[in-house]
Structure 1
Amino acid sequence: MAKKGRRSTHEERIRAVQLMENGWRAEDVAEALGVSRGSVFAWQKTFREGGLEALSTKFASGRPTALSDEQMMQVYTWIVGSDPRAHTFGFALWTRQLVRDLIKRHFRVRLSLPTVGRILKKLGLSPQRPLYRAYQQDPDKVRAWKQETFPAIKAEAAAVGAEVFFADEAGIRTDHHAGTTWGRIGQTRSLSPPANASRSI
């Protein structure tokens, strides 16, 4: 079992097995993931005996894919928590086409888009609508703006009988990517620069 009685995640089990298969010591894997040493050994044993399908309840059954379990684990690691641009793609969202290109680049395997879709489904991944959030956003500055700066601006405007308007300078962005991306629920996000607001009194 995982430490503190919590349930392990799909990602933790896959990552733990991958690290063990790559030669990591169970103690190091357990410490890195915050799970018990016994869990790490149990997951590795489960994987070696039954593959990904036995390792995870999210691993969907169905017809065999063109990739081995080890290759599918690698695909999962590339996609989850990663931006396609880290793999030299010029797009910020994972699509079946990008995953297909990534598989072709690393494994020299040509797959159809439906096959890539089945692989993603087997890995427990599904299309997600990304949450756009400025990657430079500072929570403390946001709080100060909401609680101090803007109320002061609003009060000043009221005192002189003025109105406050915000101009969004990010109407057109070169890095904006609308659409869906592949990932776990609650995990997907798109990185975009913040919209700079100007004030007028």
Structure 2
Amino acid sequence: MHRQDDARTLAPAAQAHLRRLAVKAVRAGLRQTAAAKTYGVSVRAVNKWVAIDKVGGLRALKLKRRGRRLGQGGRMRVAHAQRIRSLIVGQMPAQLRLPFYLWTRAAVASLIAREYGITVSLVTVGRYLRAWGLSPQKPVRRAYERNDAAIARWLKQEYPAIARQARRDKAAIYWGDEMGLRSDHVTGTSYAPVGQTPVIRATGQRFGCNMISAITNKGALAFMVFQGKFKAPVFVTFLQRLLKQVVGKIYLIVDGHPVHKSRKATRFAATHSSQLRLIRMPGYCPELNHDELLNQDVKTNGLGKSRPTNRTELMAIVRRHLYRRQKQPQVITNLFHEKHVRYAAS
């Protein structure tokens, strides 16, 4: 190696190998100045390596992680970094009186500056976030009106009691929900040249339909596709169909939609109490309703992969997809194994 070669330009592994070669040469009797000239490094570097070798041997010269550990040094103390991370994980910016809706790098930089008077660049903030095990993710929306205590009670007490009673009554537990579908719904991605947003052709007319469905953790599926608004008579018609389709008693769990609490629906359930028990979940917790996952499946794998030109086609597409799912009970069963709804998988 020639003197003009700068060892600092070598890869870290090559540098570690060079250190060991120089130290072994000195061990063999070569003077440190000669070793420095031979391997193209400074005498000071060789002196340092030899000193390290005397204390820890060649093992002490092995390749080590380079650079500072973010969050454990630099301008932030370890305790400060841990506190900033706990604030990010535990609360949203608005709760900390920051003028941001989501945790962005700018929001984190503002928090660090406010708490500790330290100004850091967005690039540095990004490195801190990675070192803290945080990554940018699409947030899940939760309503302010939700009652966390009621939801916890539902998960730990109310639903387990419902499941036990259903076993005693030999009843099937169905989870029901309804949703609207629109012709202009677009889902998925499409490859295109960088910087050129792909364009899809579809009718400029806007039309829609609605569906109501109910599923069980055994893979059963009942549904009804309809036009118009979701009102009490529509819900009662669905209940009538469900009772004809299912043999035995039914526990139907639904959300707090006004139609589910309407007089007509309540009266129908009371009249058919020997066959039907209508149960309402706590409000504002759609993530706990398994039928919401079927809704997403219809939007993504049914409507999302087609381009209907009129309402009749739209309704036909939705029905075909749901008929196909009726013949695939394992797909319905798998919905109950998603992490946030696993509590009712069995």
| TM-score category (smaller protein) | 0.3 to 0.5
TM-score (norm 2): 0.24
TM-score, normalising length: structure 1 = 0.40
- Higher-Rg member (1/2): 2
Q: Higher relative CO (CA 8 A, sep ≥ 6), structure 1 or 2? A: 1
